[in-house]
Amino acid sequence: MRAAQSAEASTKTLITSIQAQLAGLREEATRTQQIAAEQGARWSSAQEAADEQAFVAEGLRAQADAAAAEMSTARTQIAALIRTTQRSGGLDLTATLLFSSPDPESLLYGLGLVAKLVEANSQLYDRAAQLMNTARALEDQAVVAQTELEKLQDEALAAFEAAQAAALEAEAILIEQEENEARLTAQLAVLSENRRATEADYNKGIQERWGAGAAGIVTASGWALPARGYITSGFGWRPPPIAGASSFHGALDISGGNYCGTPIYAAAGGRVTYAGPNGGLGNYIQIDHGNGYVTGYAHLQNGGIGVRMGESVGPGQNIGNAGTTGLSTGCHLHLILRQNGTPIDPLSFLRNQGVVFG
């Protein structure tokens, strides 16, 4: 009897110990996930500022180039005028008219033409000077904007690396927690139900963590439809749909009826460089496709990230599920496409790759 009581007491002590281990594992996983969320928010803000500055810098550069071209045209006109004057010997046209006009009426007509010519030349010189000042000012603004862009891009890169490191740590802790929890849960089942553990107990825990996958739609070009649905917001400037959102929408939004949980697919093959929280973008996946192309998938539902950092994915592979995390007004996919670090319109690019939306 005493042996039985002792065995029962030992079993209860072991159960309590295992339960404490489980609680500790969950607490550590929660802590690292919170740190990852904070770092992801920093990255999101820094990248958003860099994206907006890139748009501003590009606009100023275009304006500066246009002003320089207009100034070049004005210089060409002035040069032609100078050559014409030199060919005429640089004579004073008014004096020439006074000595060559045969009658007062012709003289008055000629003097009127001279006045108009002088006025036109003066306007041409003034316009050229104005264009030169404008071109210089825009060039200076473009240089300042480019310098600020490079600074913001450096800050965004540093924030991304910090977020990536934090997410990797959180991911490693989560994997360890889930695997250990599967084992410990199996042990608890043995102790609580007084039965022998089977291999199925452990396998079940692993299967519940990973779930099943599905393929997307891939075109012959190697790019894929990232999600089924219709386009709700295009690329470019827009009124912010929610407080805290940016006016610059550097992405493509896709949605539809009962969209929460809709499968999201990799737009092309590549390597997952981020999978975790990203501030206003919510749960976020980033994939590097090589050749300067990177895609991002935002606002995925909680538990809707189906890939890990460092994992290779194929085009059309199911990588997650649509949600409304972060700054979002409803379940949708916020698809980002970057070319050499600069956001570009995903719709026009993917259509050129043969991807059909709708």
Q: Is there a single domain that holds both residue 50 and residue 149?
A: yes
Q: Please give the residue range of the domain that contains residue 134.
A: 2-193
346-352: list long-range contacts, CB under 8 Å, 24+ apart.
Answer: 346/226, 346/235, 346/251, 346/252, 346/267, 346/295, 347/231, 347/234, 347/235, 347/252, 350/223, 350/225, 350/226, 350/267
Q: Mind spelling out the 3-state secondary structure of the chain?
A: CHHHHHHHHHHHHHHHHHHHHHHHHHHHHHHHHHHHHHHHHHHHHHHHHHHHHHHHHHHHHHHHHHHHHHHHHHHHHHHHHHHHHHHCCCCCHHHHHHHHCCCHHHHHHHHHHHHHHHHHHHHHHHHHHHHHHHHHHHHHHHHHHHHHHHHHHHHHHHHHHHHHHHHHHHHHHHHHHHHHHHHHHHHHHHHHHCCCCCHHHHHHHHHHHHCCCCECEECCCCEEECCCCEEEECCEECCCCCCCCCCEECCEEEECCCCCCCEEECCECEEEEEEEECHHHCEEEEEEEECCEEEEEEEEEEEEECCCCCCEECCCEEEEEEECCCCCCCCEEEEEEEECCEECCHHHHHHHCCCCCC
What pLDDT score was predicted for residue 354? 82
Q: Is there a single domain that holds both residue 168 and residue 44?
A: yes
Residue 204 CA to residue 206 CA, distance in Å, equals 5
89: number of CA atoms within 13 Å, CB side? 4
* Closest by Cα among 226, 53, 217 to 142: 53
Residue 24 CA to residue 14 CA, distance in Å, equals 15
Residue 204 within a domain: no
The residue written with tokens 């929280």 in the block is 277
What pLDDT score was predicted for residue 289? 93
Highest mean pLDDT among 33-42, 47-56, 80-89, 252-261: 252-261
What pLDDT score was predicted for residue 215? 45
pLDDT over threshold 70, residue 165:
yes
Q: Is there a single domain that holds both residue 145 and residue 279?
A: no
pLDDT classification of 14: cutoffs 50, 70, 90? low
pLDDT over threshold 80, residue 227:
yes
Q: How many CB atoms lie within 10 A of CB 13?
A: 10
54 or 335, which is more confident:
335
Q: Is there a single domain that holds both residue 21 and residue 164?
A: yes
pLDDT over threshold 50, residue 5:
no
Find out whether 53 and 230 touch, Cβ atoms under 8 Å: no
What pLDDT score was predicted for residue 123? 67
Residue 282 CA to residue 296 CA, distance in Å, equals 12
pLDDT classification of 207: cutoffs 50, 70, 90? very low
Q: Residue 108 sits in a domain of what CATH number?
A: 1.10.287
What pLDDT score was predicted for residue 208? 40
Q: Is there a single domain that holds both residue 82 and residue 163?
A: yes
Residue 245 CA to residue 157 CA, distance in Å, equals 21
Residue 311 within a domain: yes
Residue 10 within a domain: yes
Of 193, 228, 260, the domain-final residue: 193
Beta bridge partners of 254: 231, 333
For the chain, the domain total comes to 2
Q: Is there a single domain that holds both residue 264 and residue 326?
A: yes
Of 193, 228, 262, the domain-final residue: 193
Residue 262 within a domain: yes
Tell whether the torsion through CA atoms of 266, 270, 271 and 273 is positive or negative: negative
Q: Is there a single domain that holds both residue 6 and residue 116?
A: yes
Find out whether 253 and 332 touch, Cβ atoms under 8 Å: yes
Q: Residue 293 sits in a domain of what CATH number?
A: 2.70.70.10
Q: Is there a single domain that holds both residue 136 and residue 235?
A: no
Q: Is there a single domain that holds both residue 156 and residue 246?
A: no
325 or 221, which is more confident:
325
Residue 47 within a domain: yes
Tell me the Ramachandran region of residue 233: left when phi exceeds 0, alpha when psi lies from -120 to 50, beta otherwise.
beta
Of 193, 227, 262, the domain-final residue: 193
pTM listed for this prediction:
0.53
pLDDT classification of 294: cutoffs 50, 70, 90? very high
Residue 55 CA to residue 149 CA, distance in Å, equals 9
Percent of the chain with pLDDT over 70: 65
* Closest by Cα among 215, 264, 224 to 355: 224
Highest mean pLDDT among 72-86, 170-184, 245-259: 245-259
Residue 203 within a domain: no
What pLDDT score was predicted for residue 130? 78
Q: Is there a single domain that holds both residue 176 and residue 232?
A: no
Q: If you average pLDDT over every residue of the chain, what do you get?
A: 74
Residue 207 within a domain: no
Q: Is there a single domain that holds both residue 65 and residue 178?
A: yes
pLDDT over threshold 60, residue 182:
yes
Residue 351 CA to residue 330 CA, distance in Å, equals 25
Residue 257 within a domain: yes
pLDDT classification of 51: cutoffs 50, 70, 90? confident
pLDDT over threshold 90, residue 8:
no
Residue 202 CA to residue 351 CA, distance in Å, equals 45
Q: Is there a single domain that holds both residue 175 and residue 226?
A: no
285 or 194, which is more confident:
285
